[in-house]
Structure 1
Amino acid sequence: MEAPDQGCISHDNLNFLLHRAAQKLGTAAQEASQAHGITPRGQLVLTALANAPERRTQLALGAALGLDKTTLTAELDRLERAGLVIREPDPTDRRVRFPAITETGRKVQTEVAHLHAAAEDTFTSGLTPDERDLLRTLLARLIAADTRPATGSCL
């Protein structure tokens, strides 16, 4: 077996560290989501629908999540086939759809949220509770301090 490239594992560059940490936590989230037949992006959509204070169009949902129309439509298609969401037509404009989470979708969303939290706890188990809180606080501050528009999806 070939030794790992030290140039790829010894970085202290912030971009590299954040990316690598996100990859590792993302893998854990993927495994947790797959246990219920969805993707982390599917969980993101279900969570947005479960927590929405009001009904949003598919277009508004995509904008809120940073998902383009094609990506969101494909994800909603998967979730709808699984019985986790329905898309209700707008009575005044047949081109507009309102995605809504089903009761089954709510149950799956809740269960996957617990699995994601457990995966996050495992991932951050080497940190003290204060360090976990500090990490969240610092990352939120970094994100808020950058005033450029967000690009790409939030997952």
Structure 2
Amino acid sequence: MKTIYLAGGCFWGLQKFFDQFEGIISTQTGYANGNTENPTYEDVKHNHSGHTETVKIEYDESVINLTKILEYYFLAIDPYSLNKQGEDEGENYRTGIYYDDDSLLPEIKKEFERQEQIEGQKFVVELLPLKNYYSAEEYHQKYLEKNPSGYCHLPLKLFTLAKDSEKTL
């Protein structure tokens, strides 16, 4: 099992998005790479901590590899939007790929550079070692499962990507 941390705007939708794929063992919403310890949602939301809303993803690399996870990630974000995804704006909504295992870096860089080459310009997505990570409050975990009509900047079709892909195979 491996772990990667992905920030892509509001963490509610990103968590729901990744929960659909086979090989994703678990997801958890949280706050990454900020300047304070144990931030609350209010600290993060009001840009008092420097953290970004992030999803911790644990995956079974024998079922889904990191390259595929990053391909999905780039489908779900606007890699040119600085500190903004959808209607969500602020440093806490910046995009980022964070790792706590240096052995992942070559695969991350390869896919990151491949995606930039496909798009033809540089991304504003952070690519950094994980400095810190704190789990979000319980009410943020699986939020869109608990609140199906909750706000999300991701298009609804992304939440059925895995199921729709199976139909076309």
TM-score, length basis structure 2: 0.30
Name the structure with the higher helix share: 1
TM-score, length basis structure 1: 0.32
Q: Which has the higher contact order (CA 8 A, sep 6+)?
A: 2
Name the structure with the higher strand share: 2
